[in-house]
Structure 1
Amino acid sequence: MTPVRWAALAALAGALYFAVQGGEYGTLDLRELRREAVRQEAEVARLQRVVDSLGRLAGAIERDPRMQERVARESFGMIRRGEFLFRIVPGEEAGPRLENGEGAR
């Protein structure tokens, strides 16, 4: 083979390699896009489950009196006549304090 043919063959091989591997959407980019599509589909499925769950919860809150009472009690601190509501404030130590700052034993 002449040097011109070798150069043409090398150029053709380089162009073929660039067509398969290089460019904006080469083989490696295609693989990454497929992996990303699988991740996105999994995220869509997860979010669909969340939406379904929230839809069931909203329906229960609209129709179920026990669920309405539960939400009222938990969210708004509502109580029935004759019940007592005890609020526990986190972060404060229980018990009386002595003058030196230590709790009573």
Structure 2
Amino acid sequence: MDRVAKIVSQKAVVIFSKSSCCMCHAIKRLFYEQGVSPLVHEIDEDSRGKDIEWALTKLGCSPAVPAVFIGGKLVGSANTVMTLQLNGSLKKMLKDAGALWL
């Protein structure tokens, strides 16, 4: 849990991902296409990735990836992020966190 908290505190938007996950890829593209530069942590490339995956599950991420944090707070997985994008509230969250200036 401490490791997740430390990573999340490093940037306004943090995405925990697996390099082979297609939904992770789609979420990363969503942020990149909006001009956001998230910190992407590929847990399958981390020697302690299983611990991070366990911690994300304990925080309520199901599935564990993609897990998106904005402004240090867990937003959720792909379904939640896509819902926020479709209803227009994702952009406000990004602006409030300082990740988007438009």
TM-score, normalized by length of structure 1? 0.23
Larger RCO, structure (CA 8 Å, separation 6 or more): 2
* TM-score, normalised by the number of residues in structure 2: 0.23
Higher helix share: 1
Q: Structure 1 or 2: larger strand share?
A: 2
Larger gyration radius, structure 1 or structure 2? 1
